Structure 1
């Protein structure tokens, strides 16, 4: 059931052309809301808007924001993409996009003639908050390499919701974005992960690809009931297409829930039961007690017999973030409060760099 209310726009706190942070008056009370101008049109103070208030009323972790469904003072929108593939299909907000794969696309033949990823590294995260620390470390180490972000539909569907993506693109740290499935708003639109990976390689000439859902994740406390389980099929796709699959383990010692201590049960489930191929699993060399805890998890779940588990010394994550003046937060915690989580993502960048430096040294012997 959708909970809807009418509101009046009281103020516009921030806007970047893709996301408007606004304050609305609902029944005399000022509340927070987001408007996507490309979907629901430009907004002005005094406009009467129809709001979806469901998530806030259920406390679903959207940050206490309502979402504008329609602006009664401006019914026009500016989503200019116009191919034949629909996203948000068969909903009142369905939109048409130019999909890279469709026959009228100038990239159609490049997709058709694809032969392989040539061992291109593809890093797969389970949470959107892994993106920033990975990008910061990778780009500091490889400033001239092309990095492409593929956003799946495992959480937020509009890429516009991600302020991280906006910031990273503004700083030139993400070269291109692709949205797949029902997710939309990337510079390039693809139907699924396979064609998105092909697009990253053939069209965008990526040196490395990062794949994860957008902001948000659904979890139920059950073994298989979480959207991050998508990591498994994505890693399979990377291997199937001839890429180098790299999995970022979800690691935390700040989470109070036992199932997320050390390597989260989410990551263990994916790596032990869901993924069908062997993948590269870089793990940061934490302090002795924490590393022993993680190594015990790796051994008990036989992750080291199924995958290439590599321990990497990495003490640079915070410096990499500060180098680009980037702030991070996950599950409400900042770097200092949950540094092992962010270091896990950063370590994947150091692993990839070491692998390629080693390969270059081998080639020059």
Structure 2
């Protein structure tokens, strides 16, 4: 189940909040399958979990995803720096995430008894009509913000509620870190088994409440972390949680906006136009009414998207959203836009559909 390797840190390639990218030399006979002899492997370390590796350190690696070619950015993962262990954590926090795994970690949850926010959340039962934009993929986060800010201005406070269907550590996302640094996010709330956000929460429900009552968000964006899982089946994909998030937003008296996953660049029939992920999550899993922004895309492809969206009209309110000006707004993103390896110009409808969800959320702020 796990491919274990030892290696030596050669250099630190780059860092961003919560993560370090390293070059690690692994003995030739121990290199991951398919690796080139003598070529260091890229490795990722989370200092809060394993300490800070330095050049010359021996590190213990998990090379499983790297060997299998999974979507981890081509990284081996640093499990430990055996000869220089980090200091014990200080302070309160008894919520355990990644529970009963070798890397289980304790965090201070906003909703636990030792939290300064416990009293505010103990009886909290509403997000006060806050628009909650729900998306399938992590790559929708930045374009949603582009559409939102283009329409409502940068004074709007937005929190990202990160589900645990993809990456568990929020630190893996360079995009979320940059959006936070640039002031495009008031903070990240990590829920379920996800961890490493500015605020930790036990469930999607308390994550939304924390977004509103701890971070003071005007709008929340809910999506899984990077690295979604799909199996090519109707129900076997991690984005099913998008439908569950719509339910949570509605139960807490928010206004859910169900962002469509749209693609013209993905030629797989199940993802071309509106992905079956959106049709299943919103059409079958979401049990409450949401606003579904339907981007008014041009041409035959646009008609396909509008026709597919009609499948959701029985349960949800379809809201046509013009896309004029959104391409320019997307070009202003502070992070590189990419989904499934395709950039802005390679799959423009995907990003326009996400930005349209942001535009619709902005319109709700004025109502």
The two structures share one fold, judged by TM-score above 0.5: yes
Deviation at 1:355, TM superposition (A): 3.2
Paired position in structure 2 for 1:93: 103
1:252 aligned to 248, 258, 263, which one? 263
Deviation at 1:79, TM superposition (A): 5.5
Paired position in structure 1 for 2:143: 133
Report 1:1-365 matches (<5 A): 1-28=1-28, 29=38, 30-76=40-86, 82-140=92-150, 141-299=152-310, 301=311, 303-357=312-366, 359=367
Structure 2 gap segments, 5+ residues each? 29-37
Measured at CA, do residues 336 and 269 of structure 1 come closer, stay the same or move farther in structure 2, by a change above 3 Å? same
Please list the CA deviations of residues 322-354 of structure 1 after superposition, one character each: whole Å capped at 9, or x if unmatched.
334432011000000011111111001111222
Measured at CA, do residues 258 and 243 of structure 1 come closer, stay the same or move farther in structure 2, by a change above 3 Å? same
Deviation at 1:98, TM superposition (A): 0.7
Deviation at 1:284, TM superposition (A): 1.1
Deviation at 1:315, TM superposition (A): 2.6
RMSD: 1.5
Paired position in structure 1 for 2:32: none
Deviation at 1:118, TM superposition (A): 2.0
Paired position in structure 1 for 2:31: none
Q: TM-score, normalised by structure 2?
A: 0.93
8 Å CA contact 1:82, 1:96 repeated in 2: no
Deviation at 1:246, TM superposition (A): 0.6
Please list the CA deviations of residues 254-279 of structure 1 after superposition, one character each: whole Å capped at 9, or x if unmatched.
10211101000111111221111111
Paired position in structure 2 for 1:363: none
8 Å CA contact 2:92, 2:114 repeated in 1: no
Deviation at 1:26, TM superposition (A): 1.0
Once residues 276 and 287 of structure 1 are traced to their aligned partners in structure 2, the CA distance between those partners, rounded to angstroms, is 31
Deviation at 1:158, TM superposition (A): 0.4
Matched residue count:
356
Q: 317-326 or 183-192: which moved more?
A: 317-326
Deviation at 1:149, TM superposition (A): 0.6
Once residues 334 and 185 of structure 2 are traced to their aligned partners in structure 1, the CA distance between those partners, rounded to angstroms, is 15
Once residues 239 and 215 of structure 1 are traced to their aligned partners in structure 2, the CA distance between those partners, rounded to angstroms, is 25
Please list the CA deviations of residues 39-60 of structure 1 after superposition, one character each: whole Å capped at 9, or x if unmatched.
1111111111110000011111
Once residues 7 and 137 of structure 1 are traced to their aligned partners in structure 2, the CA distance between those partners, rounded to angstroms, is 44
Paired position in structure 2 for 1:362: none
Measured at CA, do residues 287 and 278 of structure 1 come closer, stay the same or move farther in structure 2, by a change above 3 Å? same
Deviation at 1:73, TM superposition (A): 2.8
8 Å CA contact 1:135, 1:173 repeated in 2: yes
Higher RCO, Cα 8 Å, sep 6+? 2
Measured at CA, do residues 168 and 78 of structure 1 come closer, stay the same or move farther in structure 2, by a change above 3 Å? farther
Once residues 25 and 347 of structure 2 are traced to their aligned partners in structure 1, the CA distance between those partners, rounded to angstroms, is 36
Give SS of 2:83's match.
coil
8 Å CA contact 1:98, 1:189 repeated in 2: yes
